[in-house]
């Protein structure tokens, strides 16, 4: 058997999915797909002609991954290929040595990856449902309140320095100082954005809060750089010597803080490109953030041009301790609470498509966990709660039973792959529930539409199981995108749920089998229009899957006049 293999470039470096994953902006899924199919066709065309001429058939394989060499090697090993014939691409040997291989970075999308990329990190941020009338207004009001709170947290400590000040030293000088104070306050609030405050995430959804964390980090560091730039350009004498031996401690601390903040940004935005392993990066991220913030505080208190009264110093010390205290809360106190409430794996069932369902029960009797279907949990498996190795997973079980939690997890990264070997009896720590995605957010909707891709089915399963347990009779639609029929996880259970619910399941396959009479390709505007009733704008929508899919479906729904959340 001949395998024609091509590794398509990943234009979706940002097809992130995990919380804490930061990356560059994402090209549209259409563009990505078009570019990838063009690349595939371009590469395989000569081989196709050659094979046709020789009267041979080839199996066309489209791979994706970080490193084409590795991808091909893994495939060859898995399929036990006898001989690999590799084509040289574009550059000759010398150019390749000098300029490196092209393309330099590769990532999944075209095939399995479209459905699987979500599982590269455990949780694709589920998309909140488009909201209706009253809830939309309530959400907008709450969002405005939280934004006002953000601005207050960042600027009030600065404006508190105005009363009793000894007079300005010129606009530019004071503006430079103010940028430093405001920038530091912005970076302080960063600790709060990831401190898992349930109420703060409610009006936005956890995905927005993490996007916010990412973009405000970049902007906060830009403001701090602005602070430095004002003095560097307008008052270089004020900065003094940059040599640590000659400079006062607080000035060296300021320079160190700048460097550490820059390092934080670079290591986060380019985490994948730098091939930093997620768990290690997370620990380094927290440590770097505390060090950078600590150094900045030393700089502020030492330079302290605006802290001309003891109470002003005290105010900023208290604020600084508070922000860093949030890290202590999330990383020490909260894990300490969790350590006293261990859970145990009571079932580990492999599903299709390298998905494993883990069921957990408390080791000691606990009150049932109250959660809304669609919410997620931070789960530590094979690690203590202090190890910072917890991962976010959607709860897949019914909210009607809070004493037994199920998670459907896909093997892809190092961590999720290790889960395939989880055994009954192993201990887990569960920090839950989190997130504001789910049917309970839309109690008055006349019906619901779920769009899931790959393992994105997990929170949808929780919602469907809960609705079935509640005896809900409202009409439901599930559009479930997968690559091939053999990899459609949980499809038997979905069939069983159809008997208990008024549920229409529409499977959408990218590579359907020959006799397939169902939908093929992707979940598009046209496909949604064909299956949904004219009153579709009144339904509640829940999307969960790889980012390119949810973004494309969001646009399709917009074109169908479904109001966005």
Partner 1 sequence: MTRESRARWLAAATALLVVLLAALFALMRNWG
Residues at the interface with partner 1 (CB under 8 A): 25-26, 127-128, 147, 150-151, 154-155, 158-159, 162, 165, 167-172, 174-175, 177-179, 181-182, 186, 205, 207-208, 211-212, 215-216, 219-220, 222-223, 226, 547, 551, 554-555, 564-565
Q: How far apart are CA 533 and CA 373, in angstroms?
A: 25
Beta bridge partners of 408: 357
SS3 18: coil
Would you say 159 or 322 has its CB closer to partner 1? Answer: 159
The count of other CB atoms within 10 Å of the CB of residue 104 is: 10
Phi/psi of residue 33, nearest 5 degrees: -65, -45
CB of 62 to partner 1, least distance (A): 26
Report the 10 Å Cβ neighbour count for 408. 24
Q: What is the DSSP letter of 391?
A: E
CB closer to partner 1 out of 372 and 547:
547
Percentages of the chain per state (helix, strand, coil), in multiples of 5: 50, 15, 35
Nearer to partner 1, 33 or 465 (CB): 33
Containing 70, the helix (H) or strand (E) segment is helix 68-78
**Choice between 76 and 269, CB closer to partner 1:** 269
Smallest distance from the beta carbon of 409 to partner 1, in angstroms? 24
CB of 192 to partner 1, least distance (A): 14
- Contact between 391 and 456 (Cβ < 8 Å): no
Residue 531 contacts residue 504 (beta carbons within 8 Å): yes
Based on CB atoms, which residue is closest to partner 1, 157 or 385?
A: 157
The distance of closest approach from Cβ of residue 334 to partner 1 in the complex, given in angstroms and rounded to an integer, is 25
Q: Which is nearer to partner 1, 166 or 367 (CB)?
A: 166
Complex with partner 1: residue 72 or 224, whichever CB lies closer: 224
In the three-class reduction of DSSP (H, G, I as helix; E, B as strand; rest coil), residue 84 is classed as coil
Considering the complex, state which of residue 1 and residue 162 has its C-beta at the smaller distance from partner 1.
Answer: 162
Shorter beta-carbon distance to partner 1: residue 96 or 313 = 313
Instruction: Kindly state the DSSP code that residue 58 receives in the 8-state scheme.
Output: E
Cα–Cα separations (whole angstroms), residue 94 to 87, 97, 272, 302: 16, 5, 27, 54
- Shortest distance in whole angstroms from residue 158 CB to partner 1: 6
CB of 504 to partner 1, least distance (A): 26
- Strands, E assignment, 221-371: 343-350, 355-362
- Helix residue spans in 504-564 (DSSP H): 525-531, 547-559
Burial class (CB in 10 A: 0-12, 13-18, 19+), 174: middle
Vertex 275: Cα angle to 104 and 487 (nearest 5)? 85
Could you give the residue ranges of the DSSP H alpha helices within 304-403? 310-328, 334-339
Angle at 17 between CA 12 and CA 20, to 5 degrees: 115
Which one, 279 or 525, has the nearer CB to partner 1? 525
- How many CB atoms sit inside 10 A of residue 165's CB? 12
Q: Which is nearer to partner 1, 169 or 266 (CB)?
A: 169
CB of 24 to partner 1, least distance (A): 11
Please give the angle made by the CA atoms of 254, 257 and 259, to the nearest 5 degrees.
115
Residue with tokens 């058997």: 1
**Residue 469 near residue 439, CB atoms below 8 Å:** no
What's the closest the beta carbon of residue 209 comes to partner 1, in angstroms?
9
Tell the smallest beta-carbon distance from residue 173 to partner 1 (Å). 8
Min dist. Cβ of residue 208 to partner 1 (A): 5
Report the nearest approach of partner 1 to the CB of residue 216 (Å): 5
């Amino acid at each position: 058997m001949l395998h024609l293999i091509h590794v398509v470039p990943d234009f979706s470096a940002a097809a992130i999915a995990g919380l804490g994953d930061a990356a560059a902006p994402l090209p549209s899924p259409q563009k990505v797909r078009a570019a990838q199919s063009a690349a595939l066709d371009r590469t395989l065309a000569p081989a196709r002609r050659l094979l046709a001429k020789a009267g041979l058939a080839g199996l066309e394989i489209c791979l994706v991954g970080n490193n084409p060499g590795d991808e091909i090697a893994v495939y060859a090993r898995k399929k036990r290929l006898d001989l690999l014939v590799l084509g040289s691409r574009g550059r000759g040997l010398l150019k390749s040595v000098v300029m490196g291989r092209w393309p330099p970075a590769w990532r999944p999308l075209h095939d399995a990856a479209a459905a699987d990329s979500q599982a590269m990190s455990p949780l694709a941020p589920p998309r909140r449902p488009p909201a209706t009338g009253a809830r939309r207004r309530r959400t907008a009001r709450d969002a405005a309140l939280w934004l006002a709170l953000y601005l207050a947290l960042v600027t009030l400590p600065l404006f508190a320095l105005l009363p009793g000040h000894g007079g300005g030293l010129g606009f530019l000088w004071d503006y430079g100082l103010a940028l430093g104070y405001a920038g530091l306050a912005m970076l302080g609030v960063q600790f709060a954005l990831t401190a898992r405050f349930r109420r703060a995430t409610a009006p936005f959804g956890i995905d927005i809060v993490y996007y916010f964390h990412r973009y405000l980090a970049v902007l906060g560091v830009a403001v701090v750089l602005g602070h430095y730039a004002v003095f560097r350009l307008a008052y270089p004498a004020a900065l003094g010597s940059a040599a640590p031996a000659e400079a006062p401690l607080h000035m060296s601390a300021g320079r160190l803080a700048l460097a550490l903040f820059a390092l934080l940004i670079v290591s986060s935005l380019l985490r994948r490109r730098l091939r930093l392993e997620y768990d290690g990066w997370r620990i380094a991220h927290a440590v770097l953030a505390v060090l950078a913030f600590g150094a900045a505080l030393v700089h502020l208190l030492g330079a302290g041009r605006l802290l001309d009264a003891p109470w002003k110093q005290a105010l900023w010390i208290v604020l600084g301790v508070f922000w860093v205290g949030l890290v202590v809360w999330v990383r020490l106190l909260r894990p300490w609470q969790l350590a006293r409430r261990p859970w145990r794996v009571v079932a580990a069932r492999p599903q299709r498509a390298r998905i494993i369902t883990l069921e957990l029960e408390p080791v000691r009797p606990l009150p049932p966990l109250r959660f809304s279907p669609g919410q997620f949990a931070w789960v530590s498996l094979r690690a203590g709660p202090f190890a910072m190795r917890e991962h976010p997973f959607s709860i897949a079980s019914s909210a009607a039973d809070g004493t037994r939690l199920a998670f459907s997890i896909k093997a892809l990264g190092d961590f999720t792959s290790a889960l395939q070997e989880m055994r009954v009896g192993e201990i887990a720590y569960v920090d839950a529930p989190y997130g504001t995605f789910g049917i309970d957010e839309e109690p008055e909707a006349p019906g619901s539409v779920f769009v899931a891709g790959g393992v994105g089915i997990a929170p949808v399963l929780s919602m469907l199981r809960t609705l079935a347990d509640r005896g809900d009779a409202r009409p439901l639609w599930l559009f479930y995108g997968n690559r091939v029929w053999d990899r459609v996880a949980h499809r038997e259970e979905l069939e069983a749920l159809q008997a208990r619910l008024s549920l229409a399941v529409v499977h959408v396959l990218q590579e359907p089998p020959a006799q397939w009479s169902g939908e093929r390709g992707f979940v598009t505007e046209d496909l949604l229009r064909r299956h949904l009733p004219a009153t579709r704008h009144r339904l509640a929508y829940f999307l969960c899957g790889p980012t390119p899919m949810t973004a494309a479906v969001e646009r399709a729904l917009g074109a169908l006049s479904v109001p966005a959340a």
